[in-house]
């Protein structure tokens, strides 16, 4: 379980997280949604100890992320930020192999290499495995980073907008993959998503944020309602049920 | 094959110089030749190999830490700070042993490099070319301070000997400090994965369970000590740490575990060739290796800058 208590974070005068309390049980896919600047990414970064809170605490299975040893957490929780720019020239396989670092400390065993190959296959990267990252498109690179994170083989996977740069086909593949990671491998997946329809379709649990506060949380059915979405996005969105799925129309 | 070529060059280096030392004279048990070999030629060749390998690896680490292709100890204020350190210790305690000079120079180098990395944090637009420019400017300022005091204290000539890499003064008993660089290079190789990770930035490093700060500190200490030892014993060898890692990166990428041995061997080979050229080009006089490396290295640096700059931009 990830437990956030009283999380507060400011940049200068701007309070990006304002006393956030949140409990995310183990298993399943949780989507963090909200407008730009609502604090989703900051919350995710704080949960994964990439940012330090000004006040409050985050625990993962009872371990406080700000005090637990880095390598202990790295075997439990993997995370990926939105923009990952590398100056180092690495091959896709090198990068994915680094995902095993918390387990192998740089001396990859046969078991580690099995994980690497599986991740490459999962993300449809086998043909690109020996290419350098700077020779790939943005979407291919994004998949390589996700492959690295999955290769870490952790109970918790926290991703900030993993659909960035992905075309429709790979975006769908990515969400299905995260679904499988939760269903088959028992991982707890937390993703920041822009598209509420994607969130409604693939997540078990939706957390909606606005101005640094969690304004709603619940199942997709509970969140995908016109009055809730108005509160989150300041937009009147009509929600339809199409082929059994909830879809909010935001183009009309 | 590259290793073999460097080996051959190293053997050649043993037999190039003003006094005649050849395999024949050695076989004839010429005491004079043997003495020259053991006291001068062998130490010189070893010094070249050690300094070349270590400076090239230090350059590669610098590039990982600053996450920029175009930095190395002589474009980041490290070397200039080390020189300032030597000046300070020379003025305050002229009779200090070499080891003390080296440690003071290391400390200055560490402070200078840390300052460079701090400055980078304030540069809003970290474009590929701005980073080395900041380093060059910082180095220029530190160098100017050093020159000013050296001028006032009548130490300009000593200053010139520190800032121009030259192996001609290397004799047995005056290069052994360089073995420290071998130890540092080995440490760098053992920690290669960490430096590669640091090159991926603090978020990815943290995600994979490593302390970014620890890796940065380790790297800074290695780079500073290597620079200081090399400056104290043979003087500044510019551009080496830039050219060699970049060429290797173009061929093999940046996974340091894989590339570090190549960088070390090619760095040693590059300096060896430059030193040989310096010894042969106007025999029986010598051109300091710093000058030869400077000329060849700056040309290669420009070529890399134009090539990579255009692609990265």
We report the CATH number of the domain holding residue B198 as 1.10.3470.10
Kind plus residue range of the DSSP H or E element containing A207:
strand A205-210
A89 closest CB neighbour out of B204, B208, B249: B249
Q: What pLDDT sits at residue B313?
A: 37
Q: What pLDDT sits at residue B308?
A: 64
| Residue at B161 is within a domain | no
B162 falls in which pLDDT band (50, 70, 90)?
confident
Which one of B125, B191, B208 makes the best mutation probe of the A interface by having the most chain A beta carbons within 10 Å? B208
Chain B interface residues facing chain A, Cβ-Cβ under 8 Å?
A: 64, 67-69, 192-193, 196-197, 199-201, 203-204, 206-211, 249, 253-255, 257
- A204 and B CB contact within 8 Å: no
B253 closest CB neighbour out of A50, A84, A132: A132
B92 falls in which pLDDT band (50, 70, 90)?
very high
Q: Which of B88, B87, B256, B278 lies closest to B187, judged by CA?
A: B256
Q: What pLDDT sits at residue B301?
A: 79
Distance from the Cα of B113 to chain A's closest Cα (Å) equals: 20
Q: What pLDDT sits at residue A52?
A: 93
Q: What pLDDT sits at residue B16?
A: 82
pLDDT at B165 over 90: no
Q: Do B209 and A106 touch (CB under 8 A)?
A: no
Q: Rounded to whole angstroms, how far apart are CA atoms A69 and A76?
A: 11
| Residue at B82 is within a domain | yes
Q: Do A89 and B253 touch (CB under 8 A)?
A: yes
Average pLDDT of B158-174?
A: 83
B82 falls in which pLDDT band (50, 70, 90)?
very high
Q: Do B208 and A89 touch (CB under 8 A)?
A: no
Q: What pLDDT sits at residue A132?
A: 93
* Total tally of structural domains belonging to chain B: 1
Q: Do B208 and A98 touch (CB under 8 A)?
A: yes
B125 falls in which pLDDT band (50, 70, 90)?
low
- A71 and B CB contact within 8 Å: yes
Contacts of A98 in chain B (CB under 8 A): 193, 196-197, 200, 204, 208
Contacts of A89 in chain B (CB under 8 A): 249, 253-254
Q: Rounded to whole angstroms, how far apart are CA atoms B36 and B40?
A: 5
Q: Do B68 and A87 touch (CB under 8 A)?
A: yes
Average pLDDT of B37-43?
A: 87
Q: Do B253 and A74 touch (CB under 8 A)?
A: no
Q: What pLDDT sits at residue B261?
A: 95
Distance from the Cα of A45 to chain B's closest Cα (Å) equals: 9
- Bridge partners, residue B117, by sequence: none
B69 closest CB neighbour out of A49, A87, A94: A87
Q: Say how far residue B27 (Cα) sits from the centre of its chain.
A: 36
ipTM, interface predicted TM-score of the complex? 0.86
B311 falls in which pLDDT band (50, 70, 90)?
low
- Domain that residue B218 falls in: 2-155+167-312
Q: How does DSSP assign A151-178, residue by residue?
A: HT--SEEEEE-TTTT--HHHHHHHHHHH
pLDDT at B65 over 70: yes
Beta strands in chain B (DSSP E): none
Output the pTM of the full model: 0.88
| Residue at B135 is within a domain | yes
> Model confidence over B246-265: pLDDT tens digits?
999 988 999 999 999 999 99
Kind plus residue range of the DSSP H or E element containing B100:
helix B98-122
Q: Do B203 and A50 touch (CB under 8 A)?
A: yes
Buried-state track B294-310, b at ≥16 Cβ within 10 A, e below 16: bebbeebbeebbeebee
Q: Do B207 and A89 touch (CB under 8 A)?
A: no
Q: What pLDDT sits at residue B290?
A: 87
Average pLDDT of B144-158?
A: 91
- Residue A190 φ then ψ, to 5°: -120, 120
| DSSP 8-state assignment for residue A17 | E
Q: Do B253 and A90 touch (CB under 8 A)?
A: yes
Total residues belonging to chain B: 313
Contacts of A84 in chain B (CB under 8 A): 201, 203-204
Q: What pLDDT sits at residue B85?
A: 93
Q: Pairing between strand A29-34 and A188-192?
A: parallel
> Model confidence over A191-241: pLDDT tens digits?
999 899 999 999 999 999 999 999 999 999 999 999 999 999 998 888 998
Q: Which two tokens stand for residue A86?
A: 């590398």
Integer CA distances (angstroms), A132 to A65, A129, B28, B204, B255, in order: 33, 8, 56, 18, 11
B69 falls in which pLDDT band (50, 70, 90)?
confident
| Residue in chain B nearest A152 by alpha carbon | B208
Q: Do A48 and B201 touch (CB under 8 A)?
A: no
- Residue B122 φ then ψ, to 5°: -90, -10
| DSSP 8-state assignment for residue A2 | E
Which SS3 state, helix, strand or coil, does residue B132 take? Answer: helix
Q: What pLDDT sits at residue B303?
A: 85
Q: Do B64 and A88 touch (CB under 8 A)?
A: yes
* N-term to C-term CA, chain B: 36
Q: How does DSSP assign B5-42, residue by residue?
A: HHHHHHHHHHT-SSS---HHHHHTT-HHHHHHIIIIIH
Q: Which two tokens stand for residue B229?
A: 């030892």
Q: Do A94 and B255 touch (CB under 8 A)?
A: yes
| Residue at B160 is within a domain | no
Q: Which of B310, B312, B268 lies closest to B51, judged by CA?
A: B268
A106 closest CB neighbour out of B193, B249, B253: B193
- Tell me which residues of chain A have a pLDDT lower than 70: 251-252
Distance from the Cα of B67 to chain A's closest Cα (Å) equals: 6
Q: Note whether B263 and B77 are within 8 A (CB).
A: no
**Residue B173: burial class (beta carbons within 10 Å; 0-12, 13-18, 19+):** exposed
Under 8 Å CB pairs connecting chains A and B tally to: 75
| Residue at B80 is within a domain | yes
> Model confidence over B262-290: pLDDT tens digits?
999 999 999 999 999 998 888 788 888 88
B255 closest CB neighbour out of A73, A78, A90: A90
- A132 and B CB contact within 8 Å: yes
Residue B240: count other Cβ atoms within 10 Å of its Cβ.
Answer: 32
B209 closest CB neighbour out of A50, A71, A89: A71
Q: Which two tokens stand for residue A62?
A: 């009872």
pLDDT at B309 over 60: no
B10 falls in which pLDDT band (50, 70, 90)?
confident
Distance from the Cα of A135 to chain B's closest Cα (Å) equals: 11
């Amino acid at each position: 379980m990830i437990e956030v208590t009283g999380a507060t974070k400011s940049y200068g005068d701007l309070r990006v997280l304002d006393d956030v309390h949140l409990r995310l049980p183990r298993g399943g896919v949780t989507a963090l949604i909200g407008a730009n600047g609502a604090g989703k990414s900051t919350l995710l970064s704080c949960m994964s100890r990439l940012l330090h809170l000004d006040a409050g605490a985050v625990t993962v299975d009872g371990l406080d992320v700000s005090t637990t040893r880095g390598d202990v957490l790295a075997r439990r929780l993997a995370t990926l930020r939105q923009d990952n720019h590398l100056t180092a020239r690495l091959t896709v396989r090198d990068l994915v192999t680094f995902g095993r670092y918390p387990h192998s400390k740089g001396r990859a065993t046969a078991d580690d290499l099995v994980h690497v190959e599986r991740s490459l296959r999962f993300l449809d990267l086998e043909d690109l495995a020996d290419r350098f990252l700077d020779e790939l498109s943005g979407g291919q690179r994004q998949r390589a980073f996700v492959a690295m994170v999955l290769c870490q083989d952790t109970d918790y996977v926290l991703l900030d907008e993993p659909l960035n740069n992905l075309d429709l086909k790979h975006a769908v593949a990515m969400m299905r993959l995260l679904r499988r990671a939760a269903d088959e491998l028992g991982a707890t997946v937390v993703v920041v998503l822009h598209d509420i329809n994607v969130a409604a379709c693939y997540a078990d649990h939706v957390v909606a944020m606005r101005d640094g506060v969690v304004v709603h949380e619940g199942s997709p059915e509970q969140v995908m309602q016109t009055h809730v979405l108005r509160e989150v996005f300041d937009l009147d969105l009509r929600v339809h049920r199409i082929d059994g799925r909830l879809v909010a129309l935001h183009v009309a | 094959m590259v290793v073999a070529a460097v080996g051959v060059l190293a053997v050649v280096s043993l037999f190039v110089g003003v006094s005649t030392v050849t395999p024949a004279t050695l076989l004839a048990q010429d005491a004079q030749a043997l003495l020259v070999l053991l006291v001068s030629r062998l130490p010189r060749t070893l010094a070249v190999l050690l300094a070349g390998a270590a400076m090239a690896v230090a350059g590669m680490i610098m590039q990982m830490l600053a996450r920029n292709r175009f930095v190395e100890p002589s474009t980041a204020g490290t070397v200039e700070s080390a020189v300032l350190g030597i000046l300070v210790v020379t003025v305050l305690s002229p009779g200090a042993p070499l080891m003390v000079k080296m440690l003071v120079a290391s400390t200055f180098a560490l402070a200078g490099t840390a300052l460079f990395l701090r400055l980078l944090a304030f540069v809003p637009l970290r474009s590929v070319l701005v980073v080395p420019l900041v380093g060059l400017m910082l180095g220029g300022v530190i160098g100017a301070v050093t020159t000013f005091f050296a001028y006032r204290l009548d130490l300009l000539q000593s200053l010139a000997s520190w800032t121009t890499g030259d192996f001609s003064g290397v004799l047995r008993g005056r290069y052994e400090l360089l073995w420290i660089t071998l130890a540092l290079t080995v440490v760098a190789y053992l920690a290669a994965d960490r430096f590669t990770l640091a090159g991926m930035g603090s978020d990815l490093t943290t995600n994979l369970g490593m302390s970014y700060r620890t890796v940065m500190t380790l790297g800074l200490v290695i780079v500073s000590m290597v620079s200081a030892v090399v400056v104290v014993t043979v003087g500044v060898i510019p551009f080496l740490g830039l050219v060699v890692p970049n060429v290797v990166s173009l061929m093999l990428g940046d996974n340091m575990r894989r590339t570090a041995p190549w960088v070390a061997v090619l760095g040693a080979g590059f300096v060896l060739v430059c030193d040989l050229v310096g010894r042969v080009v106007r025999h029986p006089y010598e051109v300091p290796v710093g000058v030869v490396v400077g000329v060849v290295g700056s040309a290669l640096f420009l070529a890399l800058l134009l090539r990579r700059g255009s692609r990265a931009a």
